[in-house]
Chains A and B, each alone.
Chain A
Amino acid sequence: MYLDRKWDIVFWITAAFFVGAAADITRLLFAGDWDFWVDWKDRQWWPILTPFATIIIPSAIQYILWAVWRLPIGASYTAACLFLASWVGRVYQWQDFVNYPLTLIWPATVVPGAILMDFILLRTRSFVLTSIVGAMVWTLAFWVANYIPLAAYLQPVQFMGHVLTVADVAGIEYLRTQTPEYLRQVENGTLRSFLDQTQYVSLVFGSTVAVGGYWIGQALARFIALWPVGRGIKRL
């Protein structure tokens, strides 16, 4: 018999590179600016864009690992690979290469939401239910898990004659020549209609957008990962 545990070892280790990369590039190019900088982690855009960008690949891997092996660890595995790719990238390419302090450039984590989303799939065994309940939990867990480290940087400071947050000061002090401040797409005191509950509105909307992201991931898994198995193109 040839199918020993080495096949498992090779799969889990080599797949981690692609899974981490797919999750990272999706996050970086859909919501990267909000993830790079602490002074972009606001209440209005960050909780909408980042959960959407980061749920796509975990959803795809969740489907693949469940469909092929009934393993409820797809989202967690993706989140763990993304976590490692994030830290390697930030520490080596942002801190070491350009010398930005981690206080300015720390990445968000999606790990807790991923564990919960996998749990929901295991219990419901339904991708429809996981997309709705799981995406909501994903967004809420994203906010809580990342607001915890962010809180310290939202403390008020007097700087340049104005009251700013520690995060704002970090964004001003650490020179970013090609990132002028007017690019910063953050809450800017626009219309409010929910008694100042900006963050809750963002979380609810972010959840619905994450549901869409979940199904994009499902489409990737079903049509690009699994549908091609054993199929060929007769005429190119």
Chain B
Amino acid sequence: MTLDVRQRTDSASIEAQWFLAMAWPSIALPRVMDATHFGPTDWFGAWRTCVLACVGLCALFGALSTYMHAFAWAAGTDATSPQFARYWLSLLVGELACVGVGTVGWWAWLVRSGRSIPASVTHSEEVYRIAVFWGLVGATSVVLYFMASFFVNADGAWHQTTVRDTAFTPPHIVMFYGAFPLGITMSVGTALYGITRLTKIYPASSGFPWSFFLLIGASVTEMMQVALNEWGHSVTITEEIFSAPFHWPFVIYAWLGVAIFALWIETLVRLLSIEKGLADLGTEG
């Protein structure tokens, strides 16, 4: 893993040598310090978004799960009881209100502030934004985990244990009306950030990016599938076989989320392009 690798390539051009340098860590990569205190790829710089968003979402869902563990059995088995209204319908309303208001506010801010961002930016600023973008993609990934695994386990445990009550069981309230809407919030918000801040990667002339379309489609269709799921349960089988055909669209729609890799790859291509441009110029920053 040294310069010997490059020397092996007899007809290696300077371009090939640069490519090879990308594969091996032995080439010193001097870090660029921006004019600000923290650089675009410092943990306290652009990566702050990633850390705060991911940790914050984990804390939020952890709190919701703790609440569910504490009050699901005590007040959540009978949807007609006053306790259910006090502990669970209130949470349902609170979730929808907070997520709704927060989502609209965040999206609106992204769009409005995006209009005043200068069209051309320095490489440093662009890298900063891509790092923030990766933070948002990471946060979306975290939400998808809680949507499609963490609370799905709770829902399975609940359904296979108690008789089906209404559509608003405690795990449903946390999962379908908390995590699922947040999936839409994050996927659309990430798209808005990308479209307004990463104009070299997502220029308007290229149309609406397929990657965003599929990722947003995953979260939106998952939400729509909730309705089909409830309808199906009222019409056909009543026992909660988890692998029932009515549940399969949840999986199919979740597969659309694989488009998240396209986001990483698209931005990575741009990063490599920036790096190569800098290498060609022989300058830093």
Contacts and interface: CB of A to CB of B under 8 A. Distances in A.
Contact of A233 (B152, B159, B208): B208
Contact of B127 (A2, A20, A96, A230): A2
A90 interface: yes
Interface string B218-248: 0000000000000000000001111100011
A194 interface: no
B164 A24 contact: no
A25 B251 contact: yes
A30 B210 contact: no
Interface string B127-154: 1000000110111111011111111111
B118 interface: no
Interface string B83-122: 0000000000000000000000000000000000000000
A46 B53 CA distance: 39
B153 A93 contact: yes
B150 A93 contact: yes
B156 interface: yes
Given A179-B239, A226-B261, A20 B149 contact: yes
Given A4-B29, A88-B150, A33 B242 contact: yes
> Chain B CB within 10 Å — which of A5, A6, A25, A34 has the most?
A25
A61 to B, nearest CB: 8
Contacts of B251: 25-26, 29-30
A179 B255 contact: no
A10 interface: yes
Interface in B197-222: 202, 206-211, 213-214
Contact of A1 (B32, B145, B257): B32
A165 B194 CA distance: 56
A100 B22 CA distance: 50
B5 interface: no
Interface residues on B, range: 35 or more
A126 interface: no
A177 B162 contact: yes
- Residue among A1, A31, A96 having the largest count of chain B Cβ atoms under 10 Å: A1
A25 B148 contact: yes
Interface residues of A, number: 65
Contact of B239 (A1, A29, A175, A178): A178
Interface in A14-30: 14-15, 17-18, 20-22, 24-26, 28-30
A48 interface: no
Contacts of B68: 97
A141 interface: no
Nearest to A32: B242
Given A2-B275, A85-B145, A221-B258, A29 B210 contact: no
A64 interface: yes
B157 A10 contact: no
Given A18-B144, A25-B149, A3 B262 contact: no
Interface string A189-231: 0000000000000000000000000000000110011111111
A84 B213 CA distance: 29
5 interchain residue pairs of minimum CB distance: A14-B138, A89-B153, A232-B207, A228-B210, A32-B242
12 contacts: A1-B30, A2-B41, A3-B272, A5-B25, A22-B144, A29-B251, A36-B156, A88-B150, A94-B153, A225-B258, A227-B210, A231-B210
